[in-house]
Structure 1
Amino acid sequence: MSASDSDSDADFNPDREFPIAPPAPRKGRGAVTNLQGRYEVDQRETVDDGWASNPDEDGEPRALRTQVFEEKAKSILTRNASPDIPFNVSLNPYRGCEHGCIYCFARPTHSYLGLSPGLDFESRIYAKINAPELLEREMSKKSYVPEPIALGVNTDAWQPVERDLRLTRRIIQVLHDRGQPFAAITKSSLIERDLDLLAPMAARGQVMAAITITTLDADIARTLEPRAATPARRLRTIRTLSEAGVPVGVSIAPVIPFVTEPDMERVLEACAEAGATNASYIVLRLPWEVAPLFKDWLTAHFPDRADRVMSRVRDMRGGKDYDSSFASRMKGEGLWADLLRQRFYNAARRLGLNRRDRGILDMSHFQHVEQKPAPRAAPDKPASPQLDLF
């Protein structure tokens, strides 16, 4: 699935605005509801009848346990045809993401599984357990043409379940052994675990990384990205990668008006001080089910500014919650989008960010080793000459 598959419509439910009484947020989760996916035939609505469902002693909803399902994928490399995305090939070891970022554009992909883009997306994770083997097989084909791979674009390749499953680690080992360049983006400090593979690749010009930081406010981050590393920890990861020789940048994604937007300059300053050399930003995107999920989150956590936030979002989206056109979906349009753009570029210029070209990842070290078929077992007795015909 390409990175744009979940962006094909502006408003999933244009009649839905803010809920009158949103459910209480669950500790450690981003979504406050388990909104049904758009492909469900039977629509269900949760009604509070006054009987709390399995509450904890303090009255909070009971913690939702993460479930991990093993999946054998048929293919592992996704080709992208979106003209506003700077890569052609991506690889995602997981479907769903435990980080629980409420704004995640990949949430609607869980609808294809018959699951909710809400709480299901962050608590029901599918691990492509054969991903390293599929990657090895793909790169062994005579027809394979090496080009940089984007790792962890739809869902974070270093999300919490990776600590035990180590799928991303095994994938990087394959990329390392083959000399296959890649670019990674993450919110997790777990990427530091793999520096023994990343540092030698960086020395050969085969890897670059980006750390996503939306805000430096830990309280906002705790509700916005509940199971991702704290902003301070992500800054330390930038410093660690930079000191290890891995080119690292910061992605301020998304910029949410009146929530994370006031922090833009401070984020850039902190990241530049930590060693980031490049920076980028993306304004809030609300494709399909992300729009109602985000509105529920706003009402639960920022009821005082929910109307202002959505009004400003629509100012940048031609009056709609979302506009999926390639020309404007990443940066928005209109006066407020122009002001954001000026703020970002002025700050980046002042801090010396984006002065050096990120460069082209070096493809010259790629080893195209064709997999040989397994040898046939010797027969227990001499075969009939007639079998030689087959």
Structure 2
Amino acid sequence: METKPAIRQERPRARGALSNAAGRFDLARDAVDDGWDLPEEEVRLMTEVREEVARSIITYNRSPDLPFDRSINPYRGCEHGCVYCFARPSHAYLGLSPGLDFETRLVARPNAADVLARELSARRYKVAPIAIGTNTDPYQPIERDRGIMRACLEVLAAFNHPVAIVTKGAMVERDIDILAPMAERGLVRVGLSVTTLDPDLARRMEPRAPSPARRLAAIRRLVDAGIPVRLMVSPVVPGLTDMEMEAILAAGADAGVDAASWIMLRLPREVSGLWQEWLTEHAPGRAAKVMARLREMHGGRDYDPKWGHRMRGEGVFADLTARRFARACSQLGLGSGSAPLRCDLFAVPPRPGDQLSLF
């Protein structure tokens, strides 16, 4: 039986991944020529959003690598389309591809704020900082219309609950009216990620995220409003962006950040194949070097997920990167830590009909 040739796939415009291979829980999908030899119009990949009614919203973790034990994700998937995103494999649990599906087939959780208020009001709840944006970006483009992140912030502000936000989205400026008063009470800090200062490289790696210059402008606005901002040089890509580390830190210091951190590129599960596919297309001359450096830091593997190792790697290059980072931060006066967020102000706000306290 003659095998029909695969259909030639055009590179999707303004998307990070180049393919849409099935996830590890899904059936394989192959596009093949049907033999009719008819011209087909290029199909533009549009973003689809479906809604999920959340039954719970706070996710707890016990990872020794993370400085928080709970987080919120208003959305599943991320339209920013960063090809290297370590969260891509989470889309496989939905029966979707960690490739193009991750950035085009999104899930919004419109009742997130209501569920959050209910969980914070529970008598058994013990306050500790909540992280938002650690999996998918809460300020991705669909937030402009959905406003789920803003609704969650309004709940956190009403409860005087501490929150740490991680984002690439300049849309965080929209919520300065909520964040600035929270910052005055020691309840919020923002981490803003800058991977490269090269706008062309950023456009190819992070196609729908704001440009590096726009992110730095957002940092300035947040700092001017009194909101503490940490610059996240993340991820550091060996052989592609690592040489920019000092320049990125200097740009962040000039924008007003008082702290900085870094994480080495991580390639868990399906991300490795997507990343190598991207390298072959966009940086073929550096692909071998990039992968050799990563494998050098992970014992010959593309990625080693063990605790205490996965964020930085090991070996000469990992140590050199850490030393360069520490030296640059010292020269620029950037700290590695931030003042702890306050938990002592937390209180469940009165609801309509509640009896008021006499004291």
Aligned residues: 347
1:34 to 20, 38, 43: 20
Structure 1 equivalent of residue 4 of structure 2: none
Q: Distance in 1 between matches of 2:46 and 2:209?
A: 16
1:286 aligns with 2:274: no
Structure 2: tracts of 5 or more residues without a match:
1-6, 355-359
Q: Residue 312 of structure 1: CA displacement?
A: 0.8
Relative to structure 1, is the Cα distance of residues 24 and 342 closer, same or farther in structure 2, using a 3 angstrom cutoff?
farther
Give the residue type in structure 1 aligned to 2:289.
Answer: R
Letter in 1 for 2:15: R
Please say if 1:88 is aligned against 2:66.
no
Structure 1 distance, partners of 2:278, 2:264, is 17
Q: Which moved more, 1:166-175 or 1:62-71?
A: 62-71
1:368 positional shift? 2.4
Structure 2 CA distance, aligned partners of 1:45 and 1:365?
A: 55
In structure 2, how many angstroms separate the alpha carbons of the residues matched to 1:348 and 1:165? 38
TM-superposition CA deviations, 1:222-253 (whole Å, max 9, x none): 01110000000000011110010000011111
Distance verdict in 2 for CA 1:147–1:329, change over 3 Å = same
1:44 equivalenced with 2:37 (yes/no) = no
Over the residues paired in the alignment, what is the CA RMSD in angstroms? Answer: 2.0
Call closer, same or farther: CA 1:179–1:22 in 2, change over 3 Å. farther
Q: What is the CA–CA distance in structure 1 between the aligned matches of 2:96 and 2:203, rounded to whole Å?
A: 25
Structure 1 unaligned segments of length 5 or more: list them.
1-20, 57-61, 375-390
Distance 2:271 2:235 in 1: 13
Once residues 36 and 274 of structure 1 are traced to their aligned partners in structure 2, the CA distance between those partners, rounded to angstroms, is: 42
How far the C-alpha of 1:45 sits from its partner, in A, is: 3.6
Q: Rg larger in 1 or in 2? A: 1
- Residue 348 of structure 2 is aligned to residue 368 of structure 1: yes
Hey, what's the Cα distance between the residues in 2 that align with 1:49 and 1:248? 54
Distance between the aligned counterparts of 1:176 and 1:269, measured in 2? 32
Moved over 2 A (4+): 21-25, 42-56, 368-374
In the alignment, the residues of structure 2 paired with residue 159 and residue 270 of structure 1 have an alpha-carbon distance, to the nearest angstrom, of 23
| Structure 1 residue 27: Cα displacement | 1.5
**Distance in structure 1 (CA, Å) of the matches to 2:33 and 2:232:** 39
Query: Percent of aligned pairs with the same residue?
Result: 50
- Amino acid of the residue matched to residue 247 of structure 2? R
3-state DSSP class of the match of 1:228? coil
Say whether the 8 Å CA contact 2:158–2:349 is kept in structure 1.
no
1:353 aligns with 2:334: yes
TM-score in terms of structure 2 length:
0.92
User: Which residue of 30, 37, 44 corresponds with 1:63?
Assistant: 44
Query: Per-residue deviation at 1:335?
Result: 0.7
1:336 is aligned, of 305, 317, 341, to 317
Larger RCO: Structure 1 or Structure 2 (Cα < 8 Å, ≥ 6 residues apart)? 1
1:111 aligns with 2:92: yes
Q: CA deviation at 1:48?
A: 7.5
Residues 263 and 124 of structure 1, relative CA distance in 2, 3 Å threshold: same
Matches within 5 A, 1:186-265: 186-265=167-246
Which residue does 2:80 correspond to in 1? 99
CA gap 1:351/1:63 in 2 versus in 1, 3 angstroms? same
TM score, norm. by length of structure 1: 0.85
Q: Return the alpha-carbon distance in structure 2 between the equivalents of residues 366 and 158 of structure 1.
A: 25
Contact 2:53 2:110 in 1 (8 A): yes
SS of the residue corresponding to residue 117 of structure 2 reads helix
Residue 43 of structure 1, CA deviation? 2.5
In the alignment, the residues of structure 2 paired with residue 349 and residue 52 of structure 1 have an alpha-carbon distance, to the nearest angstrom, of: 63
Q: Is the 8 A contact 2:192 2:231 kept in 1?
A: yes
Change (3 A) 1:255 1:55: farther
Give the partner amino acid of 1:94. Answer: Y
